[in-house]
Structure formats: C-alpha cells, structure tokens
C-alpha cells in the first residue's frame, strides 16, 4: 500500500488540447466534484469523486476545498526577479526605462545578501499568485542565479532561470565579456541544470547588449548541453528594432540576428514579439521557438499590442506562453495578466474567451516551454503542481460569482476580477507550500508542510 497519499477534493478543470486549434469546449474537462490524488509528488489519479474515492487506500489524507476550484499551477514564461524592487516605475519607454531604472536596480545584485533577500520575497510572491513554474531572468551576477535557484530548491519548485549576458551598451558594473559570460554560465549549468527541479536558461538580455561574439557563445552553450533553455527579448519597441538594424546591418531581421547564432529553436522563449512580420512567425513555427506574451508590460511601457491570434494562426501556429514581465509588468498575478491580455486582444479586433485564456496560462505555457510532459495539466503521471482558486475571495467576487451561469463565465470573472487574493492554496510537488488561510504562516518549505 502507498505510504502517503493525499486527495484534494473540490471543483476542478484542466485542459487536454489546444482550444485555439480545436473546439474549446472539447479541449477542457470541468468537474463539479473532483478528486486529485497525489503520491510522492506526482498526480496518480484525477476524475469524479464518486469514481475515485472508493479506491483510495486506507489512511489517505483528504483535503476538501468545497467550492474552491482545483486547477493546474499557473506558468509564467517571462519575468525578471531583480526588477521586483522597481515595479511601477514611472513614465518611460523601453530604452529609457532600462537606463533609468533597470540597470540601476540590477547593480545592487552584486551584493549576495541583497540577491538572497529579493529571491526569497520573489518566490513567495509567485506562490501567492498561484505561479508554480516561471522562466526567470536573474542579473549578470552569478550570485543572483545562486540565490534564486537555492530558494527555488527549498520550495522544490520547477523553475527555469539564468545569468544575464551583456558585453556592451550597459553600465560597466553590469558588463561581462563573451568568454567570461560563457565561463560563468557553464559553471552555473554544471551546478544547477537538472538538479532537482531546476533548469538552466542561457540568457542574453537582448541583441543590443550583446556582441555577435557573445551571441555565438550563447549558441555554443546550447549546443554543448542537453535540454537547456534560451530566453531573450525581441521586437518589443520600434526604437529598439531600429537600433538592432543599425547594430547588425548584415542581418535580414531582428530574429535573424538570433538565428545566425543558433538561438532560434525549441526551448527558446522570445519575449514580446510585438513588431513581428509574417516571416518571423513562420520561422518560429518551423523551428519550434516560442513567444512570451506580456500584456501588462506592453501596455505599461506603451510598446504596442501583441497580435496573439496572428501568432496562433492555425495555418502555422507558433507556441505562445503568458508572461508577467515584472518589473515593466505591473503584477505577478497571471489572473491580472489575463485581464490585460483580454483587453489587448480586444483592441486588436479579437476577443479572448476564458477557456483560451486559461489554456495560455497553463497547458499552453507548458507546451511553449516543452515541459507539458511534466506540468500544465491535472493528469496521472504529471507533477502535482496544483492551485486552488477561490471565487469568493473578495465580497465583489463572491457577489458576482453567484450570478455566473456556466463555468466558462465563472473563469472569465476570475480572470477579470481576480488577483493573488483569489489563490486559496498552492501545492508544489504534492506539498501545500502556500495556504492563504494559514494566517500566521502562509508559506512553508515542503519539509515543514
């Protein structure tokens, strides 16, 4: 008999196919009374309570969330943990914002103690927001990566992160060299990649802050190690796009700069892509490269409107994940990010319904990261990274939820009115590491859960 079995009971939903390419209602399972059975960090069963409960072993621990909604953990495909301290910085577009706020804040991460303090807060705020996996930018300092992965390992979260690479067009205190960045990244890969649930991500900030030699070194790292990730920025702002054209006149496009260095591939995540052309989307489709849609950041900086439905065109769909992009993004909550994604889509002439939206934040982002065999769904064999949504989290949410006539409407209300308060609990690998209602101690490392 299993030694430790936990069963979570409540309403529940999960996706099993892409609602942008198929009938949305056929892509989701919604259960009014479900059980999620967990053993040794994995889901062993998911289905109606009436079917699964009789087979639970003696001694199984039942956690009943009542009218709470059990869902796969939310996934953030683009976020900067060092920028938490400058979220909400006023009044600049991308390049000025980097110079005025970002580079100033990131220099403080040369201090290991500062990096550890911010990493501890950042991980907790992710969990409070129901985010169980994120693709994270650290700073140029190796100690920022060490601090982040060490805190992630304590919570046993599945995280993807890496040291930023910059060898030009940044303050001297934030510059490395192509060789130095390669060497430090290689050492971090050896220390953290594939250790527990941690994944390393080669991280050139964006083309203007890396020479061609550094981008080539990033490509060499990817070629030398199995299953590494790549993250960077692309086509976020018209001035940035023009700057790249001036810095790399021999390349046919911004994406071609990265492709020439071997960076356009599966497990590569390109943030923003607002000003993509059709040939860029086609290249991403052909190579399996993904785009992180970051609506709160794009609106806050005035960068433009990402063409979500163009990217997901069924004729050549591109993998798209959802990103908060804090600190230009204004919230770590993916519920709030979906709220803004709806508005961006509407301003672009299309509406983003709740099923497609929550797919983006769960299975869609897992597929964009090539981790859908581990996370993104409630299904036997997958990691037990699970959240519980509370549709009564605030008086207004409770009132409005009482007038919902379908679960799709209820999910839409959650993504419109919800935020971190609507996350009742966050389970990581089968352990309740965050519980909103444990007032005195909402966060616990797994060994204390």
State how far the Cα of 314 lies from the Cα of 289, in Å rounded to an integer. 16
For residues 128 and 388, what is the distance between their CA atoms, to the nearest angstrom? Answer: 11
Instruction: Report how far Cα 282 is from the mean position of its chain's Cα atoms.
Output: 23
CA distance between the termini of the chain: 22
Per-residue model confidence as pLDDT tens digits over 167-211? 999 999 999 999 999 999 999 999 999 999 999 999 999 999 999
**CA 324/CA 272 separation, integer angstroms:** 11
**CA nearest neighbour of 264 among 242, 245, 274, 279:** 279
- Please tell me whether residues 137 and 105 are part of one structural domain: yes
145's CB contacts (< 8 A; 6+ apart) are 138, 161, 162, 163, 188, 192
Three-state secondary structure of 129-140: CCEEEEEEECCC
194 Cα distance to chain centroid: 18
Q: What pLDDT score does 352 carry?
A: 98
List the beta strands (DSSP E) in 73-168.
Answer: 74-80, 131-137, 159-162, 164-165
* Rg from Cα positions in the chain: 21
Residues 6 or more apart whose Cβ sits within 8 Å of residue 436 = 128, 390, 421, 423, 424, 425, 442
In this structure, are 223 and 82 located in the same domain? yes
387 and 344 fall within a common domain:
no
pTM (predicted TM-score): 0.98
The pLDDT value recorded for residue 1 is 37
Do 360 and 383 lie in one domain? The reply is no
Reading the block at residue 325, the tokens are 């992009």
Residues 383, 296 share a domain = no
SS3 content of the chain, % helix, strand, coil (to 5): 40, 25, 35
Question: What's the structural domain count of the chain?
Answer: 2
Low-confidence ranges of the chain (pLDDT < 70): 1-3, 448-449
CA angle centred on 59, ends 57 and 62, rounded to 5°: 90
The two three-digit tokens of residue 316, written as one number: 């050549």
Residue 92 is predicted with a pLDDT of 82
CATH classification of the domain holding 57 = 2.30.40.10
Of 244, 240, 221, 233, whose CA–CA distance to 291 is shortest?
233
**Across the strands, what pairs with 35?**
9, 47
Which residue range forms the structural domain that includes residue 150? 74-368
pLDDT for res 169: 97
Please say whether the beta carbons of 195 and 128 come within 8 A: no
Three-state SS at 383? strand
- 248 in Cβ contact with 291 (< 8 Å): no
**Are 66 and 83 within one domain?**
no
Domain boundary among 338, 368, 398: 368
Cβ neighbours of residue 166 closer than 8 Å, sequence gap 6 or more:
140, 174, 175, 176, 181, 204, 205, 209, 210, 214
Shared domain for 173 and 322, answered yes or no, is yes
Indicate if 142 and 246 belong to the same structural domain: yes
Q: What is the pLDDT of residues 242-269, one digit of tens each?
A: 999 999 999 999 999 999 999 999 999 9
Which of these three, 319, 350, 368, is where a domain ends? 368
* 103 and 232 both lie in a single domain: yes
Same domain, 155 and 103: yes
Interhelix angle 178-192/142-155, nearest 10 degrees: 20
Q: What is the CATH number of the domain that holds 94?
A: 3.20.20.140
pLDDT at 172: 97
Residue that is written with structure tokens 């290689």 in the block: 186
The Cα-based distances of 440 to 73, 207, 351, 392, 448 in angstroms read 24, 46, 41, 21, 14
Q: In the Cβ-directed half-sphere of 227, how many Cα atoms lie within 13 Å? A: 10
Rounded Cα gap, residues 179 and 161, in angstroms: 20
Give kind and range of the element (H or E) at residue 290: strand 290-293
Is residue 394 located within the same domain as residue 300?
A: no
CB 376 within 8 A of CB 396: no
Write out the H or E segment, with its range, that includes residue 64.
strand 61-72
Rounded to whole angstroms, the Cα distance separating 303 from 328 reads 11
CB 346, CB 338: distance < 8 Å? no
| Domain stops at, among 312, 337, 368 | 368
Same domain (yes/no): 18, 156: no
């Amino acid at each position: 008999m299993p030694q430790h079995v936990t069963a979570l009971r409540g309403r529940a939903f999960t996706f099993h196919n892409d609602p942008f390419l198929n009938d949305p209602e056929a892509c989701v399972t919604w259960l009014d009374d479900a059980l999620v059975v967990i053993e040794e960090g994995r889901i062993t069963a998911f289905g109606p309570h009436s079917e699964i409960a009789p087979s639970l072993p003696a001694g199984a621990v039942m956690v009943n969330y009542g009218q709470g909604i059990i869902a796969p953990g939310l996934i953030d495909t683009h976020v900067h943990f060092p920028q938490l301290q400058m979220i909400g910085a006023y009044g600049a577009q991308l390049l000025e914002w980097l110079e005025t706020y970002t580079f100033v804040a990131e220099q403080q991460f040369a201090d290991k103690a500062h990096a550890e303090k911010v990493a501890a807060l950042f991980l907790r705020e992710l969990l409070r927001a129901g985010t169980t996996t994120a693709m994270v930018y650290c700073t140029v300092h190796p100690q920022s990566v060490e601090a982040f992965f060490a805190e992630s390992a304590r919570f046993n979260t599945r995280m993807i992160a890496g040291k930023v690479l910059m060898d030009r067009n940044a303050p001297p205190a934030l510059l490395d060299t192509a060789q130095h960045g390669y060497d430090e990244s290689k050492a971090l890969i050896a220390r953290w990649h594939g250790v527990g649930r941690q994944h390393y991500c080669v991280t050139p900030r964006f083309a203007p802050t890396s020479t061609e030699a550094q981008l080539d070194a990033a490509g060499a790292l990817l070629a030398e190690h199995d299953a590494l990730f790549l993250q960077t920025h692309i086509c976020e702002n018209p001035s940035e796009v023009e700057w790249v054209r001036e810095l790399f006149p021999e390349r046919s496009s911004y994406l071609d700069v990265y492709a020439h260095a071997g960076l356009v591939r599966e497990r590569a995540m390109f943030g923003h892509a607002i000003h993509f052309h059709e040939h860029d989307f086609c290249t991403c489709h052909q190579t399996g490269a993904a785009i992180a849609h970051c609506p709160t950041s794009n609106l806050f900086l005035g960068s433009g409107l990402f063409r979500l439905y163009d990217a997901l065109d069924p004729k050549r769909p591109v993998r798209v994940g959802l990103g908060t992009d804090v600190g230009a993004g204004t919230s770590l909550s993916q519920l709030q990010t979906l709220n803004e994604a709806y508005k961006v889509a509407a301003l672009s002439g299309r509406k983003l319904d709740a099923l497609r939206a929550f797919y983006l934040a769960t299975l869609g982002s897992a597929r964009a990261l090539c981790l859908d065999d581990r996370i993104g769904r409630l299904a036997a064999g997958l990691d037990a990274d699970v959240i519980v949504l509370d549709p009564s989290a605030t008086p207004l949410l409770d009132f409005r939820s009482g007038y919902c006539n379908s679960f799709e409407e209820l999910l839409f209300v959650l993504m419109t009115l919800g935020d971190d308060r609507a996350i009742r609990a966050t389970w990581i690998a089968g352990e309740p590491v965050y519980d909103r209602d444990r007032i005195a101690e909402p966060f616990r490392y797994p060994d204390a859960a």
